[in-house]
A and B are shown apart, each in its own frame.
Chain A
Amino acid sequence: NAGVMQNPRHLVRRRGQEARLRCSPMKGHSHVYWYRQLPEEGLKFMVYLQKENIIDESGMPKERFSAEFPKEGPSILRIQQVVRGDSAAYFCASSPGGRGTEAFFGQGTRLTVV
């Protein structure tokens, strides 16, 4: 059973470009979470999605950031018009849902904006 798969592992974008980060959850998991981690800091929640629905986006910046989890295919975190401050590690986690279920993390995508 493959774990949570994120790609790319590393992404370099120039200021003003778009960044697309992909996350394929573990088999059987229908809940996906995105977190951002700045160097030397803990992970901060961004958005929680179930298939085709955004459940909680309270941690997502209101502008330039969007997330989706379509019926078919991976979850996508999209950052438009990237700025240097978007440079960070972005982690995806998945869980099967329900109370007491544990979330498992992918290896992350390290975004560098130059």
Chain B
Amino acid sequence: GQQLNQSPQSMFIQEGEDVSMNCTSSSIFNTWLWYKQDPGEGPVLLIALYKAGELTSNGRLTAQFGITRKDSFLNISASIPSDVGIYFCAGQRPTGTASKLTFGTGTRLQVTL
């Protein structure tokens, strides 16, 4: 099955720095979602995007739905240690009712003090 490409695959940053990651697809999605997964836990929804070009914020997180509908990015400003984890993008292509998510390959974020 298809997987979305995320970059970077992993990153080390210093506390206080801004972080940017993106997700690309060869096909169009109607909805983009960003999740964070901590070790041993399930993914937790961070931001949902429903319209091409949409820019949405959730605290220090900002995400955008690309105009082409084939990409999305997530920014984290002023990173803190609890931002450590794996970030996944997911695309959804509903055809009437809610449908499956296609997940990205993940970006592992590690924060140094």
Contacts and interface: CB of A to CB of B under 8 A. Distances in A.
B42 A97 contact: no
Interface residues of A, number: 32
Interface residues of B, number: 27
Interface in A1-51: 4, 6, 31, 33, 35, 41-45, 48
Interface string B81-113: 000000010100010111111111110000000
Interface of A: 4, 6, 31, 33, 35, 41-45, 48, 55-56, 58-59, 91, 93, 95-108, 110
26 contacts: A31-B97, A33-B100, A33-B101, A41-B105, A42-B3, A42-B105, A43-B43, A43-B103, A45-B1, A45-B100, A45-B103, A48-B99, A56-B100, A59-B100, A93-B101, A95-B98, A97-B97, A99-B94, A100-B31, A101-B98, A102-B33, A103-B98, A103-B101, A106-B42, A107-B41, A108-B42
Given A105-B42, A107-B42, A108-B42, 17 more contacts: A33-B100, A33-B101, A42-B3, A42-B104, A43-B90, A44-B1, A44-B103, A45-B100, A55-B99, A59-B1, A91-B42, A98-B98, A99-B94, A100-B94, A103-B45, A106-B42, A107-B41
